[in-house]
């Protein structure tokens, strides 16, 4: 409502949104798209589930197109839906392949000898292993072969190439052993290898799958329809996509503004916080500009459309989010790097083995068996689980402590952060105004003054009214009854309290009443203005008796988090759309290093880039739609859980407990998880480094030769060690250290 006068902290004029630039690594983006294309082809083979995913993608895309988003979300919806389908695909293939592997394990002579059991033989039972192994390979193994193709085309072999090489060699050799009997076959190793790789991939997809629906959430801010006023004055409901520049639309109380434009008639407060970050509703009157997607207050507005589709502020933010997502360079996972190295090691070892054994004993079946053993043992059972297991435990441990991790690469990067940028409104501050100061004239008690103000504001839902009532509640003050309430537009409110006429309002109220301001209240108002605080006055029977200073209240946790990050050697910056005075006041209070004030949405993205250009690894902590491009651009995007949906969807980590102190825990967990990943890679790759030379026969002259069966046993042992080591991550102490001036924000909780 318009009961109180308040200043507009920024001119929210529509600006053209410059293109922040495309990715500097087009080849890597093309490679990612090729991998996505191959994986989508596999997903489509899944039948009804894939069709369902595609239908959902189509429906969401049509919704965005209808909202004038020009289809910006198309690629992202397809990407998010595809990865959701991948998780289900690998889960299904893992369970089916594992079930089909049971007969192979039961009829494996090697396992029967190790475990001392036998199973009944029957005519044709000798075909159980090859038949079921072929089925498992075709159903569970072929997807890895297809996903290895982009790696080979890019000449950057990784995990998929290494897996594909091992299962293909084991498959061909095992089938050949049926026709040309050899000392051993690899049927049981083949199926278990495929099962474990499917399990690892399923865990990986579930743990790190990132639902790229930020653009969906942005599109939802736009209404589906608008009420257009015709030349004859009639009102017609039309889709927003049909609006054109120059159209006149009616925006009713509580409705969303359908597109950018200028108010031609009407007065109202418009909530722009989800777009501009401005913490207070902005008063709008004829001549003022409004932004599409913002929410109208209690008054009706007639708006002349000035921009539609791609030209709107919201579309500009959507474009920035999309471009920021694309601009992120491809970061290979540690395990994939290790797999790439192992691929070359295995191929080189196989070539050397073939040459050495051929020279030593001439070419025969023994040489082939040695080469096959080397290539199969090179396949990383343990390496395939080394990272996914840590990620899964990391995700659980983080969630138990109020952090939802959506991007594992960002979690890895958090350990090396140089700077963390915090959005002000709703992150470092409460996002709602409160009474931060009070002054009364001689003879008037503060509690009595607050009681009178609360009485007058008892029926108002204006944010200043809520702040005054909350201040009274915090002091345990019971407000007296008020009647004959009157709203004075642009000046304040009036009511009768105990037969006294009481006014509450801003400076315009004093001009209206022609009231003199006592010296003590003048000094108070001047100091409040210097601190960028809003001053509200209390007038009783024409006499000015008290003044209240209003400001967006700083969170108690903000003091602790800034101190803690400084102790960790991390620079703290603040980013806000508020005025420089407001930003400087908050920064001085908290001891923040760098301040970016009066920043428009597109500039927030640029400020993050500015710090990155200085060679710093940057995290962004925010909660508003206007933070979405910056959250995505940052090396680590952290959203406050109470923030808007789009901020959550654009972030890498979500602080669900709405406690910025959890940023410190995030850094600590990142360090512990990365260390555990390194340890697991050492254990997993160490097995290969040890086993490959033995399989090649380097110790054959002294009678030591690693058989395929023993190699499989060592492979299993390595997998068990990696799994146990990953579980030790649960013991990580995430309690915040007792830094000077820093109070622990509660007891850390273990993972499930």
pLDDT in tens, 646-674: 666 677 887 766 778 888 888 888 888 88
Task: Mark whether 423 is an active-site residue.
Answer: yes
Most confident option among 199-203, 233-237, 428-432, 458-462: 233-237
CA distance 559 to 639: 19
The secondary structure of residue 312, as a DSSP letter, is S
Most confident option among 19-23, 524-528, 582-586: 524-528
| DSSP string covering 690-748 | HHHHHHHTTTGGGT----HHHHHHHHHHHHHHHHHHHHGGGG---SPP--TT----S--
- List Cα–Cα distances, 474 to 479, 533, 665, 730, in angstroms: 12, 20, 31, 41
- List Cα–Cα distances, 196 to 88, 192, 392, 683, in angstroms: 16, 6, 16, 17
pLDDT value at residue 632:
86
Read off the tokens for 533. 């605080």
Give tens-digit pLDDT for 266-275: 999 888 766 6
- φ, ψ at 331 (rounded to 5°): -115, 115
- φ, ψ at 302 (rounded to 5°): -110, 120
Give tens-digit pLDDT for 552-583: 778 888 888 898 888 888 999 998 877 677 78
pLDDT value at residue 274:
61
* 295 strand-pairing partners: 256, 271
Read off the tokens for 557. 């946790």
Q: Is the dihedral of CA 439, 444, 445, 449 positive or negative?
A: negative
pLDDT value at residue 592:
94
Does the pLDDT value for residue 59 go beyond 70? no
pLDDT value at residue 206:
64
Mean pLDDT value across the chain: 76
CA distance 326 to 154: 19
* 655 strand-pairing partners: 403, 640
pLDDT value at residue 45:
54
* 301 strand-pairing partners: 251
Specify whether the CB–CB gap between 204 and 216 falls below 8 A. no
pLDDT value at residue 614:
93
Per-residue confidence band for 77, with pLDDT thresholds at 50, 70 and 90: very low
Please report the beta strands in 576-720, taking only residues with DSSP state E, as ranges in sequence order: 594-596, 618-622, 636-640, 653-655
* 572 strand-pairing partners: 420
| Candidate from 22-26, 99-103, 149-153, 189-193 with smallest mean pLDDT | 22-26
Scanning the structure block, which residue is given the tokens 């930020």?
A: 214
pLDDT value at residue 101:
92
Does the pLDDT value for residue 350 go beyond 80? yes
- The candidate with the shortest Cα–Cα distance to 170, out of 119, 126, 136, 204, is 136
| Candidate from 192-206, 452-466, 519-533, 606-620 with smallest mean pLDDT | 192-206
Instruction: Please state, for a pLDDT cut of 70, what percent of the chain lies above it.
Output: 72
Radius of gyration of the chain from Cα atoms?
33
pLDDT value at residue 650:
75
How far, rounded to the nearest angstrom, does the alpha carbon of residue 457 sit from its chain's CA centroid? 40
CA distance 294 to 259: 9
CA distance 683 to 61: 45
CA distance 340 to 148: 12
Read off the tokens for 323. 């471009």
Set 3, 288, 423, 603: catalytic member: 423
- The candidate with the shortest Cα–Cα distance to 328, out of 412, 217, 409, is 409
* Contacting residues for 732 by C-beta, under 8 A, at least 6 apart: 397, 668, 669, 672
Cβ neighbour number for residue 238 with a 10 Å cutoff: 14
Give tens-digit pLDDT for 266-312: 999 888 766 655 556 788 989 988 988 888 988 899 999 998 887 88
Give tens-digit pLDDT for 120-139: 988 988 899 999 999 999 99
Per-residue confidence band for 522, with pLDDT thresholds at 50, 70 and 90: confident
Choose between 387 and 9: higher pLDDT: 387
């Amino acid at each position: 409502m318009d009961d109180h006068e308040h200043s507009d902290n920024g001119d929210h004029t529509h600006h053209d949104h410059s293109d922040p630039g495309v990715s500097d690594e087009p080849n890597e983006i093309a490679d990612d798209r090729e991998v996505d294309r191959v994986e989508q082809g596999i997903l489509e083979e899944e039948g009804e589930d894939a069709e369902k995913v595609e239908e959902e993608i189509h429906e969401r895309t049509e919704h965005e197109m209808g909202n004038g988003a020009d289809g910006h979300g198309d690629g992202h919806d397809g990407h998010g839906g595809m990865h959701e389908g991948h998780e289900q695909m690998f889960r299904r293939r893992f369970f089916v392949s594992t079930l089909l592997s049971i007969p192979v394990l039961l009829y494996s002579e090697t396992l029967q000898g190790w475990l001392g059991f036998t199973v009944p033989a029957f005519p044709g039972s000798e075909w159980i292993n090859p038949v079921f192994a072929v089925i498992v390979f075709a159903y569970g193994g072929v997807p890895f072969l297809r996903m290895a193709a982009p790696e080979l085309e890019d000449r950057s072999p990784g995990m998929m190439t290494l897996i594909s090489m091992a299962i293909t060699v084991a498959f061909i050799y095992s089938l050949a052993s049926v026709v040309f009997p050899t000392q051993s076959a690899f049927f049981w190793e083949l199926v278990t290898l495929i099962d474990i790789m499917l399990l690892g991939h399923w865990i990986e997809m579930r743990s790190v799958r990132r639902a790229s629906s930020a653009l969906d959430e942005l599109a939802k801010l736009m209404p589906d329809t608008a009420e257009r006023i015709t030349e004859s004055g009639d009102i017609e409901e039309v889709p927003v996509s049909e609006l054109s520049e120059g159209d006149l639309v009616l925006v009713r109380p509580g409705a969303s503004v359908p597109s950018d434009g200028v108010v031609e008639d009407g007065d109202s407060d418009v909530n722009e916080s989800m777009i501009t970050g401005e913490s207070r509703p902005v008063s709008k009157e004829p001549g003022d500009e409004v932004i599409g997607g913002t929410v109208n207050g209690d008054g009706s507005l007639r708006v002349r459309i000035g921009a539609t589709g791609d030209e709107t502020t919201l579309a500009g933010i959507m474009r920035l989010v999309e471009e920021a997502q694309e601009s992120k360079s491809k970061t290979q996972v540690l395990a994939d790097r290790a797999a790439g190295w192992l691929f070359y090691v295995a191929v080189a070892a196989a070539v050397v083995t073939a040459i050495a054994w051929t020279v030593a004993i001439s070419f025969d079946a023994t040489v082939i068996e040695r080469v096959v053993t080397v290539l199969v043992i090179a396949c990383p059972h343990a390496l395939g689980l080394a990272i996914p297991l840590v990620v899964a435990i990391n995700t659980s441990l983080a969630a138990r402590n109020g952090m939802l991790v959506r991007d594992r690469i960002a979690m890895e990067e958090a350990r090396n952060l140089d700077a963390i940028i915090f959005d002000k409104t709703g992150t470092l501050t409460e996002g709602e105004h409160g009474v931060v100061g009070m002054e009364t004239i001689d003879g008037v008690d503060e509690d009595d003054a607050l009681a009178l103000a609360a009485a007058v504001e008892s029926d108002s839902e204006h944010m200043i009214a809520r702040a005054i009532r909350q201040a009274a509640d915090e002091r345990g003050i019971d407000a007296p009854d008020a009647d004959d309430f009157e709203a004075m537009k642009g000046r304040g409110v009036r009511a009768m309290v105990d037969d006294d006429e009481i006014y509450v309002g801003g400076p315009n109220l004093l001009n209206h009443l022609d009231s003199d301001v006592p010296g003590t209240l003048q000094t108070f108002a001047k100091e409040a203005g210097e601190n960028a605080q809003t001053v509200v006055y209390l007038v009783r029977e024409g006499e000015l008796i008290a003044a209240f200073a209003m400001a967006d209240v700083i969170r108690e946790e903000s003091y602790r988090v800034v101190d803690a990050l400084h102790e960790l050697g991390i620079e703290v910056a603040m980013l806000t759309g508020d005025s420089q005075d407001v930003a400087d006041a908050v920064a001085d209070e908290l001891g923040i290093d760098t301040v970016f004030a009066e920043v428009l949405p597109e500039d927030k993205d640029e400020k993050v880039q500015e710090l990155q250009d200085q060679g710093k690894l940057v995290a962004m902590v925010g909660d508003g739609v206007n933070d979405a491009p910056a959250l995505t651009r940052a090396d680590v995007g952290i959203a406050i859980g109470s923030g808007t949906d789009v901020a959550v969807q654009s972030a890498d980590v979500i602080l669900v407990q709405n406690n910025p102190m959890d940023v410190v825990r995030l850094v600590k967990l990142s360090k512990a998880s990365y260390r555990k990943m390194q340890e697991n890679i050492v254990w997993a790759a160490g097995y290969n480094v040890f086993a490959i030379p033995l399989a090649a026969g380097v110790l054959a002259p002294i009678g030591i030769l690693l058989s395929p069966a023993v190699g499989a046993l060592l492979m299993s042992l390595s997998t068990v060690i990696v799994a146990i080591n990953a579980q030790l991550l649960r013991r990580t102490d995430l309690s915040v250290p007792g830094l000077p001036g820093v109070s622990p924000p509660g007891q850390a909780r273990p993972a499930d």
